[in-house]
Chains A and B, each alone.
Chain A
């Protein structure tokens, strides 16, 4: 079974530029999560989707971050404009459904904002 796929793996941008990350969850998984992991910390949930609907985006900085999962499969996370403090690893995870606790993580996208 293929795991969670993410791209790109690395991205370097300058502050105030925009960037987008892509995630393809495990086939058949209805729930998709985006996490931000700052160096030396545990992952922090940004947004959770159930199929193509948002379940929880309470910790998403909506003035600069946006995410979508239009067809209930792939998802994109965008930052515009980026700030220095956005430098982190952005992890995508999926689970079979909302009630299933086990989450499977992708390899992450490492973002460096200069």
Chain B
């Protein structure tokens, strides 16, 4: 099946700084790329997604970029706040099932 490589596994930033998480994949048939945020004791929550016909999408402080040629997509969080601290998962879908990265634990220090 499709492997999704996610980096870094942990990320610590100062409040107000930006955070970037990157995922790479190999299957060019992948056409849907969501990002999920998972807080302790909760299920993953969709925060933003992008489809393969779009290169960039932004929602307030969160943006996702997709480079289909290089087969990678990234999550950008600007002006980070302590409540952004969580585990973030990238995922992708090209066939019937969704594949997830291993996750990035983001810590925003006040």
Contact = CB atoms under 8 A, between A and B. Distances in A.
Interface residues of A, number: 22
Size bracket of the B interface: 20 to 34
Contacts of A106: 43
B41, B43, B46, B96 — which one has the most chain A CB atoms within 10 A of its CB?
A: B43
Nearest to B33: A101
Contacts of A40: 102-103
A27 B49 CA distance: 23
Nearest to A102: B46
A105 B4 CA distance: 20
A78 to B, nearest CB: 20
B43 A42 contact: no
B45 A42 contact: no
Nearest to A50: B96
B91 A102 contact: no
Given A40-B102, A41-B102, A56-B96, A101 B45 contact: no
A105 B97 contact: no
A108 interface: yes
Contacts of B45: 105
Contact of A4 (B43, B89, B97, B101): B43
